[in-house]
Amino acid sequence: MEQFDAVIIGAGAAGLFCAAQAGQAGCRVLVLDNGKKPGRKILMSGGGRCNFTNLYVEPAAYLSENPHFCKSALARYTQWDFIELVGKHGIAWHEKTLGQLFCDDSAQQIVDMLMAECEKGSVTLRLRTEVLSIERDDNGYTLQLNGAEVKTPKLVIATGGLSMPGLGATPFGYKVAEQFGLNVLPTRAGLVPFTLHKPLLEQLQTLSGVAVPSVVTAENGVTFRENILFTHRGLSGPAVLQISSYWQPGEWVSVNLLPDTDLSAFLNAQREAHPNQSLKNTLAMLLPKRLVECLQELKQIPDATLKQLNGRQQQALEETLQNWRVQPNGTEGYRTAEVTLGGVDTHALSSRTMEARNVPGLYFIGEVVDVTGWLGGYNFQWAWASAWACAQALAESRR
């Protein structure tokens, strides 16, 4: 039987960062993971370059039943703290767009950095390890592993959400929460492409690969301005991924394909200058040609010259292009979702330490908790910040 000051289940972003911080503060830490490699999602993230944080992190960029919960951790370990750490490790980075920071080179650098930090804290990492059972008594937690038994007064659950089962995602964390009587809020896929009903999908099939800068609005009024991307399954692109976290089955979203254009002023000016120009060619000045052609085939754009376009048609056109209402059929689900919404109810946790209020020594950090960020580095920042808060508590309890 081995004994550790803290055992962390999950060698992802949150688990590794927590282990490193607690280890460096003097705790004897064991990290367990069922996978072959640590930080598998980090390696896949940001197209292989890891969007590791965002310059504009703020609590409003996170979804949770309890929107105040994330504030303390985000304020105590900020994006600037993580940027400083990345700098210390000599990792070059750049801002891509909207404050999103990516490695210049590779996401592997972030994993290497976390492993180096763990090494500095003398953290023990065991991969390919299944946790078969967890028991708690007055002395703490006893974990039965495949082939070993470990004891610890502090158990940290950092097993993430359900998104991308191919990268090792399991419902383990939710089961542990339930075992110890914590409420788990219903989960669903977030930051995920929409699928469309068959007739609409078939009509839009020729558009696969076309991207359009748009403003997308959910039924609850939340809005994102970024690209939408037509795919062979439906709609994707950053604006769609963002809005998917605010979408419930059966709801509509509205898409403004020309958010920066006063369409009637534009058409009136063009009509004045080129009355015989086709509407199709006029709109192709503003939108991808393939989109205009497709919409004309679907009779959403009249086959007319500008001078033939009547007021009613122009109004209908504005509605189509600037308030296109789409009812998604569903989402692509956990298979391609970047995150999982819902999870361990934050009302059961301390926002300062991430410890379960009624279960001393049990902590939940990272994505397993009901805190989900926007696309753009916000989810990693939550992983770092919640891990840091927990690590401070682990360190304090040793003093």
Binding site for ligand FAD (CB under 6 A): 9-15, 32-35, 40-41, 44-46, 50-51, 131, 158-160, 163-164, 168, 170, 172, 338-339, 366-367, 377-380, 383
CB of 170 to ligand FAD, least distance (A): 4
Instruction: Closer to ligand FAD by CB, 119 or 272: give it.
Output: 119
| Cα dihedral 331, 337, 339, 345 sign | positive
Using DSSP's 3-state secondary structure scheme, residue 2 falls into strand
Angle, CA of 89, 95 and 100, to the nearest 5°: 95
Residue 355 C-beta: closest distance to ligand FAD, Å: 16
Integer Cα distance of 360 and 190 in angstroms: 31
In whole angstroms, the minimum distance from the beta carbon of 216 to ligand FAD comes to: 20
Q: 100 or 282: whose CB is closer to ligand FAD? A: 100
> Nearest distance from residue 265's CB to ligand FAD, in Å?
39
Q: Residue 215 or residue 365: which is nearer to ligand FAD going by CB?
A: 365
Min CB(254)–ligand FAD separation in Å? 27
Tell me the two tokens of residue 221: 């009024």
Shortest CB 53 distance to ligand FAD, Å: 7
Q: Which two tokens stand for residue 332?
A: 């692509």
Burial class (CB in 10 A: 0-12, 13-18, 19+), 364: buried
- Closest to ligand FAD by CB, 228 or 339: 339
- CA 364 to CA 377: how far, in whole Å? 20
Residue among 37, 4, 78, 10 nearest 365 (CA): 10
Residue nearest to ligand FAD according to CB distances in the complex: 12
Sheet containing 51-54: give its strands across.
Answer: 51-54, 100-103, 93-95
Tokens of 281: 């060619």
Beta carbon nearer to ligand FAD, 282 or 372: 372
Please say which residue, 77 or 380, places its beta carbon nearer to ligand FAD. 380
Q: What order do you get walking across the sheet with 234-236 strand by strand?
A: 324-326, 253-256, 211-218, 223-230, 234-236, 194-195, 330-331
Tokens encoding 389: 């808060």
Rounded to a whole number of angstroms, the minimum distance from the CB of residue 40 to ligand FAD is 6
Rounded-to-integer distance, Cα 289 and Cα 284, Å: 5
The residue among 338 and 355 lying less far from ligand FAD, judged by its C-beta, is: 338
CA angle (101, 104, 110) in 5-degree steps: 70
Query: Smallest distance from the beta carbon of 302 to ligand FAD, in angstroms?
Result: 42
Instruction: Decide whether 346 or 379 has the Cβ nearer to ligand FAD.
Output: 379
